[in-house]
Structure 1
């Protein structure tokens, strides 16, 4: 049976175009309302299952006013609007829509957004089976484990990979965000074309625009030849913007324009270059907090957060530790040509008791190191840090320390132990089980000066 949709839009041409797109995709459009008053009557008479909602409507009430009523009725909705000023987007966010599309958009963007909105709604209401999306693939190469939390991630990857929509991967450092990005690319229509990896935290601020969009010869001092930027390199493929939360605000504006217009201009050039790039972004920060504190644009957040995938920590999926450990054992035994083929029950028990602050990356490095150190064909024991720690720390003022204060102190202690060395063998990044770029960005955020290396 066709799902019933009500369009609430005061521009007739836009509303009619929407109606044609939806009918072509198999939906039943039960009406078009140009005001909240008209929408209320159509909702009562036609009983739609979904509402497509513009913000600015005829009359005194806006789409946001109607959204609060829809929430009360448990009637799912998504916004379609050209209005992206900060205060409006804050009000939109407060209504918890199932999607937000910025005009203008392509027909396929609308249909994908509806599929994703339905997925979110069904997930929230415990009825995922109702989403009509092909899920033929049972396993994803490179993603190891069988825990319920991991199965949810795999299901989301299978749902979103064939679409063209942007994906935001969320999770702590070391949880496998880049691996998920590769999986999304490999299962997409772009898989025969390149995936280009960009670590936003590692880009020097003065070179971000040149790195992402390229430059023409003579664009600035030292630009002796044309440079093809990352977006052009990824044309017809995928670009993975890791640590997207590290981008400065002026670069966020330029990225937003690329997302909206599907075109770039090289630095120093006046030629517009059309691009077809699938964007996958990732962060270990809370972008909602970054938005609230003015460090991340809300309109860019909505553009990227079309389909979020939250990765669990390794501590949350300990039932996968044995499979992961054996996977890395096989990998590093082969690459190092070492005859190490098993992990003792005692050593596996050690792995399962540990809390893994560095997540999968920490486990991988541990297995790699112990494969090289093993004196027999079996790893018999792991030298792991103690999980025990004080339940909380108190500052000299007598007040409990904030998480930021504790993180800053922890990093400074590691730097002191490493004589100020950040990266490389014996550096603080290795001690803290994180990528050097991530540590550099945390140091910058926390105001920690780099004294050495």
Structure 2
């Protein structure tokens, strides 16, 4: 017999349909609770293994009010709702559910979400056990992770370091969130290298740089002759990462049809090459995005079930402007790196440069700072860096008929042109109607120019 399920639902027909689906799949089902009070009574006498919880119940109390009580019993729960608007989703998400089912329900969706919730709960319990091993500051040093290749003194960086250690000691999927340039790939590689898979390959895939028509073949491979142009067999990224880790960067850009195939990989641990047969894979998935996935879900561009499957262990990286304490340690570290690489004896920065670095908002985050330090080292001909060149983020137009307008640099003009084009495309980089097509350049070239110019959606 499978897990015992409690249904909290005030609509008789929907509750009865759910009960029949569950019993048909071999689950034990508690008596249906039709209100907050009935659910509390059942929880006191007959604890279930999992709860299907309607958000909007009859009476003053809602499913969201019941969620903290369920969590006190350490029982996973899945929300049921006919209302899938963004506000409801955000309010419900604050209670940390294990899933979200939107009415009307399809049997396969209900059963799939139950499997996901059961697996997530087991992974969370495993993560909790691992977390207990890394509570003392001394543990942060003993593992040798340090600042995972990132200099800094901020509290946020120390928190991220501890999360890396916990993730490295587990096998769960990891979702890294943060603006472009905050170091998401660095964190992913730190997790891999300090995990039990550290000696196996880590394969990086930039989902935004791969054409939607080629991404399935890129990830899962294809057989010779499986489509026009497939003149040879191709081994996909998942097979290349066997026994190791695959890092799916910019997963928010992944097409919906590929998202469903990725969900199968997460659930079934198997892939299906284009034109080939299914095969098992042993790969840990780490994903990252600079997009707000909740907004993407509300807009229908990202699958809710995939979001929950990836959101087992989220790590959020703060933008550099919110952790000023890290700016100079990072600058000093890379000053040493680039000075040594270029056989230069540069000992530091002038006071005016330090002030400039600390006052700048860093729209390109750590990546932008590192690029600036490298350029400044190359241009420096003395023991101190006394000048840095930073792009002007805000320009105040000169008003008046007799005043000459300010002259923009080529870089300023290029940045403005790209931003205008992205705005017209709703920030769609590639594909039909995307910015790359309108600008008549390769999508990877456009992404490269965006990085160099410090362009990200948050600062568009």
TM value normalised by structure 1: 0.71
Cα distance, 1:112–1:140 mapped onto 2, change above 3 Å: farther
Cα distance, 1:210–1:289 mapped onto 2, change above 3 Å: same
Q: Is the 8 A contact 2:348 2:385 kept in 1?
A: yes
Q: Is residue 450 of structure 2 the alignment partner of residue 429 of structure 1?
A: yes
Cα distance, 1:93–1:164 mapped onto 2, change above 3 Å: farther
- Deviation at residue 94 of structure 1 after TM alignment: 4.7
Write out aligned runs for 1:222-261 (5 A). Answer: 222-261=229-268
Q: Which of the residues 277, 281, 285 maps onto 2:283?
A: 277
Q: Which of the residues 370, 387, 390 maps onto 1:384?
A: 390
1-structure distance, mates of 2:275, 2:311:
31
Cα distance, 1:234–1:74 mapped onto 2, change above 3 Å: closer
1-structure distance, mates of 2:169, 2:219:
25
Cα distance, 1:376–1:408 mapped onto 2, change above 3 Å: closer
Q: Secondary structure at the match of 2:215?
A: helix
Query: Could you say which residue in structure 1 is the equivalent of 2:225?
Result: 218
- Deviation at residue 377 of structure 1 after TM alignment: 2.3
Q: Is the 8 A contact 2:123 2:312 kept in 1?
A: no
1-structure distance, mates of 2:260, 2:97:
21
Q: Secondary structure at the match of 1:357?
A: coil
Q: Which of the residues 333, 346, 356 maps onto 1:327?
A: 333
Alpha carbon RMSD of aligned pairs, Å?
Answer: 4.1
Query: Could you say which residue in structure 1 is the equivalent of 2:103?
Result: none
Name stretches of at least 5 consecutive residues in structure 2 with no aligned partner.
Answer: 8-21, 100-112, 398-414, 423-434
Cα distance, 1:430–1:173 mapped onto 2, change above 3 Å: closer
How many residue pairs get aligned? The number is 379
Q: Is the 8 A contact 1:170 1:310 kept in 2?
A: yes
Query: Could you say which residue in structure 1 is the equivalent of 2:275?
Result: 268
- Deviation at residue 35 of structure 1 after TM alignment: 4.2
Cα distance, 1:70–1:207 mapped onto 2, change above 3 Å: closer
- Deviation at residue 339 of structure 1 after TM alignment: 2.5
Q: Secondary structure at the match of 1:224?
A: coil
Q: Is the 8 A contact 1:355 1:387 kept in 2?
A: no
Q: Is residue 215 of structure 2 the alignment partner of residue 208 of structure 1?
A: yes
TM value normalised by structure 2: 0.70
Q: Is the 8 A contact 1:343 1:380 kept in 2?
A: yes
2-structure distance, mates of 1:167, 1:334:
35
Q: Is the 8 A contact 1:8 1:39 kept in 2?
A: no
2-structure distance, mates of 1:410, 1:207:
25
Write out aligned runs for 1:32-431 (5 A). Answer: 35-36=32-33, 40-41=40-41, 43-44=43-44, 52-55=49-52, 68-71=65-68, 75=72, 79=76, 94-96=91-93, 97-100=95-98, 102-104=113-115, 110-114=121-125, 132-134=132-134, 136-138=139-141, 139-269=146-276, 271-386=277-392, 388=394, 411-412=419-420, 428-429=449-450
2-structure distance, mates of 1:80, 1:195:
34
Q: Is the 8 A contact 1:169 1:283 kept in 2?
A: yes
2-structure distance, mates of 1:134, 1:282:
24
Cα distance, 1:67–1:78 mapped onto 2, change above 3 Å: farther
